[in-house]
Amino acid sequence: MPLVSVVIPAYNCVLYLEETIRSILGQTASDIEIIVINDGSTDATGAIARSFGEPVRVFDQPNSGVSTARNHGVREARGAFIALVDHDDYWFPNKLANQLTAFEGHPQVDVVFSDFTRWHQNGGGGRFPEPSTFLPQAAPQGIDNEYSGWIYHQMLLDSWVLTSTALVRTEVVLANGGFDETLPYSEDWDFWLRLSRTSQFLKLREATTLYRQHADQGSRVTRAVDYRTRLLEAAAERWGLCSPDGGYVPPRVFKRQLAQYSAFFGRDHLLGGVGASRYIAARSFIKAWQIDHTYWRSLLYLAATPFYTPRG
């Protein structure tokens, strides 16, 4: 049985999937399997994944979304650890080896994640810089203690865990029910937030992963629902603002962050784009003000709403 099962949810990703898989096969930790969940792709995604043969295992399913694909991959996994990576990201060679070493030295930890580097295109040519140019950032740099241990209270302020950087014990993923398949957005934040209630995390300072930035990313879509603010409100109501070890975020800090997220969501709608709504923008600015009456910027946004001309 492999030690690590790497799960890749894949939907219409012929541009990047091959490079992602090659970065996984190039790991210095060799005891791995790669599971690609072909989520109803209409291009050659499945063929590219199958072209690698062993140890890449490919499973087809009707298009069901990233959470369903990840959960499918977890069910097929045979390793003691699960690594989740998006189809367009890239791993440096020592990524898994460094994380497994961290697990050996810290047996109380259930999740090891790391820093990452945003991978932008060079100018307007559409080409990404060679991964080797980022190698100095991937050199071991020790443990980031601020985001290690019980980090639930930290996760209430931001989604510090980039899913493509994380390695987690399989039994912990299964015990927590995997990803919420009803969430079309913030599903990764929800998952790590839930795990942070029951598990200790460890963060490595080095950037083990290149986080590819491009126009087709799901995070760039304007949503009709502010899933981020809704998620954090529900978490605070259910679990409060304290981690299991007593670490906490002050209520005023949490309220300000929540108000900013609501205002940012409204601003995205105000700026325009596909799915944007001036009504949703105004409602979000009002909510930001209701959350934190000292956040004056929300009122400035609200005052500008009737007069702002969206882009495009």
> Two tokens at 193?
């937030």
Q: What is the pLDDT of residue 312?
A: 52
Give residue 184's pLDDT.
84
Instruction: Single out the residue in 220, 255, 283 at which a domain terminates.
Output: 220
What digits encode the pLDDT tens for the residues 161-182?
Answer: 999 999 999 999 999 999 999 9
Cα dist from 111 to 141, 243, 280, 289, 301, whole Å: 18, 16, 37, 36, 39
Give the range of the structural domain holding residue 232, as residue numbers without chain letter. 227-307
Residue 312 lies in a domain: no
Residue 241 shares a structural domain with residue 114: no
* 148 and 32 belong to one structural domain: yes
In a domain, 128, yes or no: yes
The reported pLDDT for the residue numbered 222 is 76
Tell me, yes or no, whether 287 and 147 share the same domain.
Answer: no
pTM score over 0.85: yes
Task: Tell me phi and psi for residue 262, to 5 degrees.
Answer: -65, -40
Give the residue from 220, 236, 265 where a domain finishes: 220
Residues 231 and 216 in one domain: no
Residues of the chain scoring pLDDT < 70: 124-125, 215-220, 273-275, 310-312
For 277-311, the pLDDT digits (tens) are 889 999 999 999 999 999 999 999 999 998 887 65
Q: How confident is the model at residue 273, as a pLDDT?
A: 64
Domain boundary residue, one of 220, 235, 254: 220
Predicted pLDDT of residue 56:
96
Q: How many domains does the chain have?
A: 2
| 93 upstream amide cis, omega within 30 of 0 | no
